[in-house]
Amino acid sequence: MTDLSPFHLAIPVKDLDETLAFYEGMLECARGRESDDWVDLNFLGHQLVLHRVESAAAVVLDANPVDGEHVPVPHFGVVLDWEVFEALTERLIAQQCDFVIPPTVRFEGRVGEQKTCFLKDPSGNCLEFKTFRQPERLFATDAEAYQ
């Protein structure tokens, strides 16, 4: 998984200042270029752009069952190294983050074993952070990993 190119994702936000406080304060994202209506952030090495929208459509999250959890859809996030994930979740817990799904182990003892957590930003965008016990199995196709 080396030599990955950074992704670019632009998301709608209702209140740019409040949402920036979340990404800069809670997630420690560094600010890049900006205007009155959008801000680039360094989201763990990726370009996340917060775009202020006048009337954000109500984000209606659906959910799919995954290994006993109801995973919110849509969502986005980053796959982290095990130690980086641990440090992030410890920091979020210390900041009393209101998790949608708290840090948990999924597919324990099986192909695709991972730790994951979900949270929402102040504009209702859902984020997932995860890490794999065996990172090389990120795209495993074994049916066992997804049951």
With 50 as the cut, is the pLDDT of residue 144 above it? no
The pLDDT tens digits for 54-109 are: 865 555 668 888 888 888 889 999 999 999 999 999 999 999 999 999 999 998 88
- Residues 6 or more apart whose Cβ sits within 8 Å of residue 71: 63, 64, 65, 101, 118, 128
Ranges assigned E (strand) in 24-61: 30-34, 38-43, 46-52
Question: Can you give the pLDDT at residue 55?
Answer: 66
Under 8 Å between Cβ of 26 and 92? yes
Identify the structural domains of the chain with CATH numbers, from first to last: 8-53+65-146 (3.10.180.10)
Which tens digit of pLDDT belongs to each residue from 14-66? 999 999 999 999 999 999 999 999 999 999 999 999 999 986 555 566 888 88
The pTM (predicted TM-score) of the whole model is 0.87
